[in-house]
């Protein structure tokens, strides 16, 4: 109960700050509109207002405060505007509509999941190689680390262009950018996990003359699962970011990234914010789903939680 109150307090504070921030952010636009409509504002011309501070404008035009929360194209939309937009573009629109966030979300989700699958598969394979081969450990790991120092924003257009030139487009280029971001946490976590059995455990298997493969399946892999799941949760969030970033340079017509881009072209801030929230909700849902799978799997393995 106490924690619910705490969570609720924090949430209320964030929303309150958000509403307050809307007032100075949007006041100039509101006053410009009011002037055009023939309402008296202080000072009278847009030119004079341009040099004034937003706070000062709010104080001298208090009648306009209400308006700052209900503009068509605010600089910063109010929470309820975003909520209404989210509701309208998810529940009320048909899924097949180009304006449905469900439609766009599903486009991004499919790239995310494909990229996550590729990234996780690649990450696990690399980790297995790194743990079993000293050569791979020394040759692959540095490159894996270097790969993550390149900003994805710089790399994504190149990947898209290169793949386009060899005739690959659509889902796969986005998925590859996703995979690029998600394989790394999986490699790091999985290497740590596969190396987690101690000397005694390895000696025990040696006394049975167990093969490397048996050691992998019976000891290393099960020991690595808790580490793997921690990595997967980071990996899936990174995948989603990758898929969205992958949609930006292509001028993609569908996907949450495309929605963000279109919103910024046309100054549709409400649309941008609702797309952002849709992405955040999607990420939270994916991480939660992984958490559930983790609980079920580790629970079945008898791990005390």
Query: Which residues contact another protein by CB under 8 A?
Result: 200-201, 203-210, 214, 218-219, 222, 298, 301-304
Closest contact distance (angstroms) between CB of 304 and another protein is 5
Closest contact distance (angstroms) between CB of 302 and another protein is 4
Nearer to another protein among residue 45 and residue 305 (C-beta):
305
Closest contact distance (angstroms) between CB of 214 and another protein is 5
Nearer to another protein among residue 16 and residue 293 (C-beta):
293
Closest contact distance (angstroms) between CB of 201 and another protein is 6
Nearer to another protein among residue 152 and residue 210 (C-beta):
210
Report whether 202 contacts 215 (CB < 8 A): yes
Three-class DSSP labels, the chain: CHHHHHHHHHHHHHHHHHHHHHHHHHHHHHHHHHHHCCCCCCCCCHHHHHCCCHHHHHHHCHHHCHHHHCCCCCCCCCHHHHHHHHHHHHHHCCCCCCCCHHHHHHHHHHHHHHHHHHHHHHHHHHHHHHHHCHHHHHHHHHHHHHHCCCCHHHHHHHHHHHHHHCCCCCHHHHHHHHHHHHHHHHHHHHHHHHCCCCHHHHHHHHHCCCCHHHHHHHHHHHHHHHHHHHHHHHHHHHHHHHHHHHHCCCCCCCCHHHHHHHHHHCCCHHHHHHHHHHHHHHHHHHHHHHHHHHHHHHHHCCCCC
Tokens of 49: 């207002």
Nearer to another protein among residue 40 and residue 203 (C-beta):
203
Nearer to another protein among residue 172 and residue 210 (C-beta):
210
Q: 10 Å Cβ neighbour count for 188?
A: 20
Nearer to another protein among residue 92 and residue 203 (C-beta):
203
Nearer to another protein among residue 147 and residue 201 (C-beta):
201
Closest contact distance (angstroms) between CB of 188 and another protein is 22
Closest contact distance (angstroms) between CB of 293 and another protein is 16
Closest contact distance (angstroms) between CB of 140 and another protein is 28
């Amino acid at each position: 109960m106490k924690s619910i109150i705490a969570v609720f307090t924090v949430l209320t504070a964030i929303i309150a700050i958000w509403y307050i921030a809307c007032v100075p952010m949007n006041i100039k636009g509101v006053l410009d509109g009011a002037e055009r409509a023939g309402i008296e504002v202080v000072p009278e011309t847009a030119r004079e207002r341009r040099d004034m501070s937003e706070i000062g404008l709010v104080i001298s035009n208090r009648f306009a405060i209400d308006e700052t929360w209900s503009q068509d194209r605010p600089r910063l939309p109010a929470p309820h505007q975003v909520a209404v937009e989210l509701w309208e573009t998810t529940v009320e629109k048909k899924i097949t509509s180009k304006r449905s966030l469900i439609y766009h979300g599903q486009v991004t989700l499919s790239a995310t999941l494909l990229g996550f699958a590729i990234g996780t598969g690649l990450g696990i394979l690399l980790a297995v190689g790194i743990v079993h081969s000293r050569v791979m450990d020394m040759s692959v790991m540095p490159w894996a680390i270097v790969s993550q120092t390149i900003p994805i924003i710089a790399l994504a257009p190149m990947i898209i262009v290169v793949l386009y030139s060899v005739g690959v487009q659509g889902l796969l280029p986005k998925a590859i950018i996703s995979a690029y971001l998600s394989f790394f946490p999986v490699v790091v976590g999985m290497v740590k996990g596969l190396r987690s059995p101690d000397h005694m455990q390895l000696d025990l298997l040696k006394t049975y003359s167990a093969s490397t493969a048996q050691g992998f399946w019976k000891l290393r892999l099960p020991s690595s699962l808790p580490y793997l799941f921690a990595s997967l949760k980071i990996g899936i969030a990174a995948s989603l970011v990758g898929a969205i970033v992958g949609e930006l340079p292509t001028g993609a017509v569908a996907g949450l990234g495309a929605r963000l881009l279109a919103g910024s072209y046309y100054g549709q801030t409400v649309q941008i914010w609702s797309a952002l929230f849709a992405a955040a909700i999607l990420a939270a849902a994916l991480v939660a789903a992984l958490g559930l799978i983790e609980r079920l799997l580790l629970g079945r393995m008898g791990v005390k939680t």
